[in-house]
Structure 1
Amino acid sequence: MKKKYLAFLLAASMVVGTLAGCGSSTSTTESSAAAETTVESAAESTAAAESTEASTEAATEEAAASGEHGPSSEAAPAWEDYDARIDQIRAETDLAAREALMHEAEDELMSTWAIMPLYYYNDVYMQSQDVDNIYANLYGYKYFAFATAPGNTLSLQIASEPDKLDPALNSTVDGACLAILAFSGLYTYDENGQLVPDLAESVEESDDAMTYTFTMKDGLMWSDGTPLTAADVEYSWQRLANPDTGADYSYLADVIAKNDDGTLQVEASEDGKTFTVQLTAPCPYFLDLCAFPAFYPVPQAAVEGADGYADNPGAWCTEAGFVSSGPFVCTGWTHNESMTYEKNPNYYNADAVTLERIDFMLSDDDTAVWNAFMDGSLQFIDSIGTDNMETAKGMPEYHNIPTLGTYYAGFNVNSPIFDGKTVQQAADMRKAMNLLVDRQYIVDTIAQADQEIANTFIPTGMSDGHGGEFRANDDAYTYPDEAAVGYFDPSPEAYDANVEEARTLLEGAGYEFDENGMLSADTPINLTYLTNEGTGNVAIGEALQQDFAVIGINLTIETREWSVFLNERKDGQFDFAREGWIADYNDPINMLEMWTTNSGNNDMQFGR
């Protein structure tokens, strides 16, 4: 899930990540949905990997023959192979073979060097000592609904104006935090980061793990008092998968079997009491999907009856007063300034909610947010500016918890800066710029929250799906830089050698250097860095700007208001942009399938 504050988070404005969420008491090596542990010999793992490789190659040839996908730039990598490999991962039932395929996918992704990992997320925030029972998980979700606070009112800040409140259309962590406050799913996470039933009373899983049947709780209602049934879940899941909805996360539904007309094989019983789902293959993280906001039910009558629905599927919840199902309802919204949520009396577990009201300050002004916390106007803030980080770390209100995610920057593979280059030359250009970055400086002087510098896209602590950690060298897989456990050595000790390698790579791509090791005026590199507003975001851009300037690359920083930034980045209107991803569940596929050609989260424009 996209992080709103690239450097805000980096600069301490890190929004928690629950995959993009995380339990405050959960370590990064724990999975909120524990995968089955299997013991495989090295020989078995190798054989499994070899058996899947052949089928992946066959699928790749078929995809290439179809001619459906193709990059618009001659310098962009062909992407049919990657798309086919993701399909293989989704279908693979041998867990060792599945892990091998996921390593292959990350290898291919990183071989493009379009991803510039900077550090692995953790989550920092400030919480008043008279506030209790706020919890977070590995995926960045913050749970405020069951908090206690003086006067049963909580005032807080998590971000600026949200981009979208429709759970199916949201793709940001701050939006997810608002979604779990106003809506409910079949499942949710408890204060220990464990999956527990929410709207569902129970679930039955078939012996082959391909069919799930959920029984709904009795007496469920929408906030307007109308019944909430399994039919609402069926409608909402079909809506998520429908291309007309335009959901960035529609690809998450690809684990569900489809009918000939493309609709999902999901069905609500006539009495609205049960909901049955047919999968394409056993999916170890399926119940995590049931706790993910994109799969939350939404009210069909409100959605389709809203003014502007024909042009904007999310028009129904662009103002306060929309119908919801969770612990709170949005009753006030002054755009770009504040939001008010009040207790929902029709929530099935309303007796467990003690807060009567939650007020949100909508701001990415770190100074204003910090001052509001210090003077008592806010009791919780999810943004800590760079200038205040050292002070914050010495206060009892400061919290620093683990999160599954990676803060990174990324290149548009179709950018004009790669015009005239071969695929390999373009990749070498991007690799050179990756090697120029002093990640330790970013962590020490901007982020300042003890983050680990990154040299992979899949973060430390991510499960491998069968009892181990994905980012590790073992008998079945070794990273290209074995000692650094990644794709390059990001340590300060390797910096000088990395800079020299960067020059060599650029020379191979046709660039010339003068006697001082600076790019020749005859072969310049000029590019822009797109980011959203906020001092932390700009600070990260400036650090990259300085690193590139070491060999004469000219980087211009362009800032945009949050929603404008999201749209420009999504549409590929950039050379180089700030990025961040908090996992949506504890499985590497989540951070790999986002790069398929048709994914709504494919910001780097692979295959397009």
Structure 2
Amino acid sequence: MKKTSIVLTAALLCISLIGCAKKEAKSSNGAAAAVTKVADASTLVSKSFIDPVKDWSKYDNLIKEIKAETNYAERTKKMHEAEDILMSNYCVIPLYYYNDVYMQKAYVSGIYANAFATKFFMYSKMSNGAKTLRINLASEPDYLDPALNSSVDGACLAANSFSGLYTYNDKGQTVPACAESYKVSSDGLTYTVTLKKNLKWSDGSALTAADFEYSWKRAVSPDTAADYEYMFSGFDGYESGALNVKALNDTTLEFKLIAPCAYIEDLMAFPTFYPVCKKYVEAHSTKDAPGAWCTEAGFVSNGPFVCSEWKHDVSMTYTKNPYWFDADKVSVEKLEFMLSADDTAIFAAYNAGNLDFADTVPTDEIEKLLETKNSEFYIVDELGTYYVAFNAKSKLFDGKTPEQAACMRQAFSLLIDRDYICENIGQTGQVAANAFIPLGMADGNGGTFKSDAVKQGYYDPSAINTNQAATVAKAKELLMAAGYKFDAEGKLSSETPITIEYLTNQSTGHIAVAESMQQDFSAVGIKMTIQVQDWNVFLEERKSGNFDIAREGWIADFNDPINMLEMWITNSGNNDCQFGR
């Protein structure tokens, strides 16, 4: 899931004298390595390489095979093959594996998060006697419609205002929510779910199994255009457009899969699978704006809280929903959200006592928080990857063969000083990444997909520091294979310059990473400008392919590699690289 406020930890580059000195030395050393022999780009790409635009159907078909595979060992093997293909074109350039940081007042307890960065506030306690929990997650949310959301902040809001069949407890385990129980057929394909009795919407009307049938079919409808509709691709009837899910009666839902699914409870706990109220949705939406029903306060939901006030770009207020099935365990009466992406202003509001929970911290405050061992500063594990994405269809690659374009992108990847980013901007234990699937993710066959970042990755993430001259020379070799020339100073010739624009959203951490890469690329004469956009504009520009290179972050939606792989199929709403288009 797209990360909204990726908190990176440490002082900015401009105040890190040691780091700057190191980078200056790297630039001069890198310029000394000369490359004269021009290799054929086709000899430099991986055997797994396919044209990411014209031949991507091969990847799409492999994902279909994985989704239908019943032999778990074979499925794991095919997922490794899929990642080989994904990584071979270097449109996806991982930088580090995520952890999460946030601030929480000492008088607050009961807030918890799962490994996928979703925060749960419904069971929070306030020992200071307050009944309102004041929070910052991010700026103005992109979507509140569970079917349309694809951001982490949106998932947090959905998890606190809607309830699916399943949810997560404070140990990160899936547990029943609207579901009471379920049975599975002997072949592992047909599920019969029994709902809790007397479920209600926030307006007091009855919530039944028919609401889940409607909502799931709505999520896969082309009219809805949900980014996550592909998450139903393991369901029978998905390919034909007739999803095999039906309400047998008010409290019984039946659905059928095409292959056994080890993570089915995670899917039932995911926002795209949440129910929405048909009567309210259809009364307040249009075909052109399927999410219009929840763009203002007062919309009907079925979770612990209801959006009762919304001052756009300023604040949101959620009040306790008395009709929620577990309402008697909710002690907080209100959630007040400060809508802002300005982490400096957010930190100031937290220190002034105006926030009880802040899901972001300025980069230049982290060092002090660590040194003083501030008990209100939390660092928690996550399953996810912070990365850079190239648009496979960018004009930057005009006139280049697919192999030459891949060589260009690989050269960019080699030049990035990931250790610097982790140690001087991250500084909370991030691990430099050399693969898209994060370390520690389960393999779906009782093991771990990847446990060693060095032995199981696609490149040495520390090479620019451990073997600087050779790494820069390799980057030049790749660029020369793509048709670029270098001058006597070891920089790109004026005949063949490279100028790119890097797209990011507002955050001191994101900008610091961008500036670090900007300096790394300048070692060979690549010129990169940085464009900072508001969150919602940024999301749409990436989704539409209106960029050369952009910052990205993906937190897993469930603990299985397919989640990190299926997002790149051609028709996925999360395919920002524009593969196959």
- TM-score of the two chains, using structure 1 as the length reference: 0.86
1:402-454 Cα offsets, whole Å, 9 max, x none, are 10000001000000010111111000000000000001111122222211110
Task: After superposing the two structures, state which structure 1 stretch, 348-357 or 492-501, moved more.
Answer: 492-501
- In 2, the alpha carbon distance for the partners of 1:122 and 1:12 equals 14
- In 2, the alpha carbon distance for the partners of 1:525 and 1:565 equals 23
Shift of 1:526: 1.0
Task: After superposing the two structures, state which structure 1 stretch, 76-85 or 315-324, moved more.
Answer: 76-85
Within-5 A mapping of 1:544-555: 544-555=517-528
Percent identity of equivalent pairs: 54
- Find runs of 4+ consecutive structure 1 residues off by over 6 angstroms: none
What's 1:240 paired with?
219
Shift of 1:77: 5.5
What's 1:304 paired with?
282
1:191 aligns with 2:164: no
Shift of 1:12: 7.6
What's 1:603 paired with?
576
What's 1:423 paired with?
402
What's 2:273 paired with?
295
- In 2, the alpha carbon distance for the partners of 1:226 and 1:388 equals 48
What's 2:534 paired with?
561
1:565-601 Cα offsets, whole Å, 9 max, x none, are 1111100000001100000000000000000000110
Shift of 1:141: 0.6
Shift of 1:9: 2.2
- In 1, the alpha carbon distance for the partners of 2:240 and 2:342 equals 48
Which of 507, 513, 523 is residue 540 of structure 1 equivalent to? Answer: 513
Which of 192, 197, 200 is residue 218 of structure 1 equivalent to? Answer: 197
Instruction: Provide the secondary structure at the position in 1 that maps to 2:96.
Output: strand
Shift of 1:156: 1.1
Asked whether the 8 Å contact 1:77–1:423 carries over to 2, the reply is no
1:355 aligns with 2:326: no
- In 1, the alpha carbon distance for the partners of 2:205 and 2:104 equals 36
- TM-score of the two chains, using structure 2 as the length reference: 0.90
Within-5 A mapping of 1:126-145: 126-145=103-122
What's 1:9 paired with?
7
Change (3 A) 1:484 1:552: farther
1:175-194 Cα offsets, whole Å, 9 max, x none, are 00000100000000101111
Task: After superposing the two structures, state which structure 1 stretch, 491-500 or 434-443, moved more.
Answer: 491-500
Asked whether the 8 Å contact 1:77–1:112 carries over to 2, the reply is no
Asked whether the 8 Å contact 1:75–1:420 carries over to 2, the reply is no
Change (3 A) 1:583 1:260: closer
What's 1:511 paired with?
484
Asked whether the 8 Å contact 1:533–1:560 carries over to 2, the reply is yes
- In 2, the alpha carbon distance for the partners of 1:341 and 1:472 equals 41
Shift of 1:261: 5.2
- The residue type paired with residue 138 of structure 1 is A
Instruction: Provide the secondary structure at the position in 2 that maps to 1:359.
Output: strand
Instruction: Provide the secondary structure at the position in 2 that maps to 1:203.
Output: strand
What's 2:343 paired with?
366
What's 1:285 paired with?
263
Shift of 1:484: 4.1
Shift of 1:494: 3.7
Instruction: Provide the secondary structure at the position in 2 that maps to 1:245.
Output: coil
Shift of 1:392: 2.3
Which of 343, 367, 388 is residue 390 of structure 1 equivalent to? Answer: 367
Q: List alignment gaps of at least 5 residues for structure 2.
A: 12-47
Change (3 A) 1:530 1:220: same
What's 2:159 paired with?
180
- In 1, the alpha carbon distance for the partners of 2:359 and 2:451 equals 31
What's 1:329 paired with?
306
Query: Over aligned residues, Cα RMSD in angstroms?
Result: 1.7
Which of 407, 413, 433 is residue 412 of structure 2 equivalent to? Answer: 433
Asked whether the 8 Å contact 2:10–2:424 carries over to 1, the reply is no
Shift of 1:10: 2.8
- In 2, the alpha carbon distance for the partners of 1:260 and 1:380 equals 43
Asked whether the 8 Å contact 1:329–1:344 carries over to 2, the reply is yes
What's 1:476 paired with?
none
Shift of 1:525: 0.8
Instruction: Provide the secondary structure at the position in 1 that maps to 2:8.
Output: helix
1:273 aligns with 2:251: yes
What's 2:496 paired with?
523
Instruction: Provide the secondary structure at the position in 2 that maps to 1:154.
Output: strand
- In 1, the alpha carbon distance for the partners of 2:544 and 2:368 equals 39
Asked whether the 8 Å contact 2:211–2:278 carries over to 1, the reply is yes
Q: List alignment gaps of at least 5 residues for structure 1.
A: 14-59, 61-70, 474-481
